Amino acid sequence: MGIPWNVRMSQVMSMETIGILCERVRVEEKQILAVLLNAGLPTVPVPPVDLPVAIGACPEGHAIESLAGQYSLLIDRCPERSASNHLVSLLADSGTAVLGAGVASTGNRLDVARKLAGAGIARPRTVFAGSEKAGLAALSSFGYPSTLMPLAYSKRPLPIFDEDIAEAVLEHRNTLGSASARSLVIQEGSPSITEVIEVMVVDGAAVAASMAGKPALRSDDVLKLAEHVAAVLDARIIGIQIAQTASGLVVWDVNPVPEFRGFNLTSSLPVADAIGALVANQLHHHQHSMSSAGNRDTSALGLSTALKESARGVVITS
């Protein structure tokens, strides 16, 4: 039997503060904070834009306080992705290990759709439309209902039920929206609430699922599909939305920052505890890697230093 995750976590000594990247502390963030604090790890909320992130190495003598290196771990809980996506990419560029929603952490719906299509994962018929004319042509081909999927994950999908609505919405976006808002992913169909389930996957395992979907959507096949999608996206913490259609199960959308407060558990660990276990596993892995890498100092000081360095620079994004 392995060592419980909270015991392993308490054995990681000399760690710096863990930050939860969020604009405000909601129920989910409070749960994660409680789990980590109860495990003896100092954890604080961190606004995502309060500290700069260096691009490339800073010249000697010109170092400024930066988000990179200030925390042992950062857990990304930012529903607004405009800053967070770039932030995670920059931290990865700096050599920081990033654990999170993978492609969905740093990209947009088009990036995810391309990745899933390339892996042969079942999806609704999907196109990219960069203009009002292209969007109307796609909707005419798909028929109604269909769904406009804004590229940014912070923007909600918009079902389109007939041609009049399509013309009005696309004209409005083209005339009054920003240039970036004119580009869309359009998907065929518009499943109802009961035809879609969101599965929370943490460290490769489906740990919880939304309550709205039909009971049939809580099958092992659905959970395994969600786990497979998370692996394809290189995601460690993510919500996968799966829809039941006439042609079978399809991956409808993904959610980089799921609101899991009302989810039903599909494993033995609550979601916040599963995230805590992921933190412990990652730190334990880095600790083991460093102890095998060459410096095998077994003194108390050497062990403390190795553990501190193994924890430094790891970012967790959901």
Q: For the segment 265-289, what is each residue's pLDDT rounded down to a tens digit? A: 999 999 999 999 888 787 676 566 6
Identify the pLDDT of residue 288: 63
Q: Which residue has the tokens 């952490």?
A: 105
Q: For the segment 191-246, what is each residue's pLDDT rounded down to a tens digit? A: 999 999 999 999 999 999 999 888 889 999 999 999 999 999 999 999 999 999 98
Type and span of the H or E element at 31: helix 27-38
Identify the pLDDT of residue 316: 54
Q: Which of residues 190 and 7 earns the better pLDDT score?
A: 190
Identify the pLDDT of residue 85: 86
Q: For the segment 2-58, what is each residue's pLDDT rounded down to a tens digit? A: 445 454 444 443 346 778 888 899 999 999 999 989 988 888 888 877 767 777 766
Identify the pLDDT of residue 76: 84
| Position 59 pLDDT exceeds 50 | yes
Q: For the segment 96-123, what is each residue's pLDDT rounded down to a tens digit? A: 767 789 999 999 999 999 999 999 999 9
Identify the pLDDT of residue 135: 95
Identify the pLDDT of residue 291: 60
CA–CA dist 225, 252 (Å, integer): 12
CA–CA dist 250, 259 (Å, integer): 21
- The arithmetic mean of pLDDT across residues 236-260, rounded, is 95
Identify the pLDDT of residue 61: 53
Tokens standing for residue 155 = 């923007």
Q: For the segment 79-100, what is each residue's pLDDT rounded down to a tens digit? A: 888 888 888 888 777 767 677 8
| Position 158 pLDDT exceeds 70 | yes
The region of weakest confidence among 84-93, 161-170, 221-230, 247-256 is: 84-93
| Neighbour count for residue 176 (Cβ, 10 Å) | 8
Identify the pLDDT of residue 8: 43
Identify the pLDDT of residue 261: 93
Identify the pLDDT of residue 305: 37
Burial 131-160 (b: 16+ CB within 10 A, else e): ebebbbebbeebebebbbbbbebeeebeeb
Highest mean pLDDT among 3-12, 64-73, 175-184, 290-299: 175-184
Identify the pLDDT of residue 297: 39
Q: Which of residues 305 and 146 earns the better pLDDT score?
A: 146
CA 286 to chain centre: 22
| Position 260 pLDDT exceeds 50 | yes
Judge whether 142 and 186 are in contact, CB under 8 Å.
Answer: yes
Question: Domains in the chain and their CATH numbers?
Answer: 5-107+269-317 (3.40.50.20), 125-188 (3.30.1490.20), 193-265 (3.30.470.20)
The region of weakest confidence among 144-153, 170-179, 309-318 is: 309-318
